[in-house]
């Protein structure tokens, strides 16, 4: 994986606009990993995908992240600042083959969810339906007393244990932040989704850069790629001359 130039990032943003939200991470990672097949990127576990997105985000916008959240108790607006390093979960040992879990009389073999799985459950009516469908997609085989059975025949205690084992094996996929409201003292955990966070940053950046390109192209007649090849500092200098 490598950093994206301003022109490449803008091209990737344009491609992503016509894709479903859950597919935009794949567009970004594919652009930054030209030597890796699309299938290989698409079948990365969600945690590994997010780990790579964090790295790409750091290369693109720096190590500091600023975001906002509303207190779930009083509605107070909070702003928090973190470093990318704070969001990286220690990488798990390389998993060889499929995972399995044995509990009571049941043995379940499964794999970790990937982006294609998330896309398949995106239209589910509620979290419970999405979780059930995701489990069905990731379970490779379920057996009871040596006999193959449907995942629907596996008791809830076992499927809950499988879901827990998935989370333990891929902790970067479910990143939660401990937040505290300075106004009312309420504490809670908020899910941090690097996929949507990074894309919202790219979207804001692209709109700002296109505005700058328009101003400089109108003033000097330069081509878009020539303007994008300028460093941000030089671009701002020329914009200052135009506006001045």
For residues 117-133, average pLDDT:
88
Which token pair is 18? 């016509």
Strand, coil or helix: what is 114? strand
pTM of the model: 0.89
For residues 83-106, give the mean pLDDT: 80
Q: Give phi and psi for 32, each to the nearest 5.
A: -85, -10
**pLDDT, position 97:** 55
In DSSP terms, which residues pair with 45 in a beta bridge?
114
Alpha-carbon gap, residue 212 to 234, rounded angstroms: 12
- 119 close to 20: Cβ distance less than 8 angstroms: yes
**Per-residue confidence at 200, pLDDT binned at 50, 70, 90?**
very high
Give 124's pLDDT tier (boundaries 50, 70, 90). Answer: confident
**Cα separation, 128 vs 130, whole angstroms:** 5
Q: Answer yes or no: are the C-beta atoms of 47 and 171 closer than 8 Å.
A: yes
Ordered by start, the domain boundaries in the chain are 6-90+178-211, 99-169
Lowest mean pLDDT among 66-70, 80-84, 90-94, 183-187: 90-94
Mean pLDDT of the chain: 91
- pLDDT at position 16 is 95
Q: Calculate mean pLDDT across residues 89-111.
A: 80
At 33 the pLDDT is: 96
- Tens of pLDDT, residue by residue over 20-41, are 888 999 999 999 999 999 999 9
pLDDT band at 96 (very low <50, low <70, confident <90, very high): very low
Q: Taking the mean position of all CA atoms in its chain, how far away is CA 165? A: 21
CA distance 160 to 106: 13
In this structure, the number of other CB atoms found within 10 A of the CB of residue 162 comes to 23
Please report which confidence band the pLDDT of residue 93 belongs to, taking 50, 70 and 90 as the band edges: low
HSE at residue 199, side-chain half, CA atoms within 13 A, is 21
Cβ neighbours for 83, distance < 8 A, ≥ 6 positions apart: 63, 64, 65
User: Which helix or strand (DSSP H or E) is residue 179 part of?
Assistant: strand 176-180
Separate counts of helices (H) and strands (E) for the chain: 11, 8
Q: Is the pLDDT of residue 72 over 80?
A: yes
Phi-psi region of 35 (alpha: psi -120 to 50; beta: other; left: phi over 0): alpha
Residue-wise pLDDT tens digits, 3-12: 999 999 999 9
What is the chain's alpha carbon radius of gyration, rounded to the nearest angstrom?
22
Bigger pLDDT: 235 vs 124: 235
User: pLDDT at residue 177 above 50?
Assistant: yes
**Alpha carbon distance 62, 48 (integer Å):** 20
């Amino acid at each position: 994986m490598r950093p994206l130039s301003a022109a490449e990032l803008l091209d990737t943003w344009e491609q992503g606009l016509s894709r479903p939200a859950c597919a935009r991470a794949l567009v970004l990672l594919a652009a930054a990993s030209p030597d890796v097949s699309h299938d290989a990127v698409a079948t990365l576990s969600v945690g590994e995908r997010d780990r790579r997105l964090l790295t790409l985000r750091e290369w693109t916008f720096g190590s500091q992240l600023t975001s906002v959240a509303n207190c779930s108790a009083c509605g107070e607006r909070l702003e928090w600042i973190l470093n990318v390093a704070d969001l990286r979960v220690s990488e798990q040992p390389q998993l060889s083959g499929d995972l399995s879990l044995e509990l009571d009389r049941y043995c379940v073999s499964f794999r970790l969810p990937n982006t294609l799985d998330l896309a398949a459950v995106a239209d589910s009516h509620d979290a419970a339906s999405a979780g059930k469908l995701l489990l069905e997609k990731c379970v490779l085989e379920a057996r009871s007393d040596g006999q193959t059975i449907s995942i629907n025949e596996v008791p809830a205690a076992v499927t809950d244990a499988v879901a827990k084992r998935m989370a333990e094996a891929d902790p970067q996929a479910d990143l939660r932040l401990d937040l505290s409201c300075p106004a009312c003292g309420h504490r809670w955990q908020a899910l941090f989704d690097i996929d949507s966070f990074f894309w919202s940053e790219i979207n804001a950046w692209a709109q700002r850069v296109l505005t700058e390109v328009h101003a400089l192209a109108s003033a000097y007649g330069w081509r878009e790629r020539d303007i994008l090849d300028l460093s941000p500092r030089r671009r701002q200098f020329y914009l200052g001359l135009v506006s001045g």
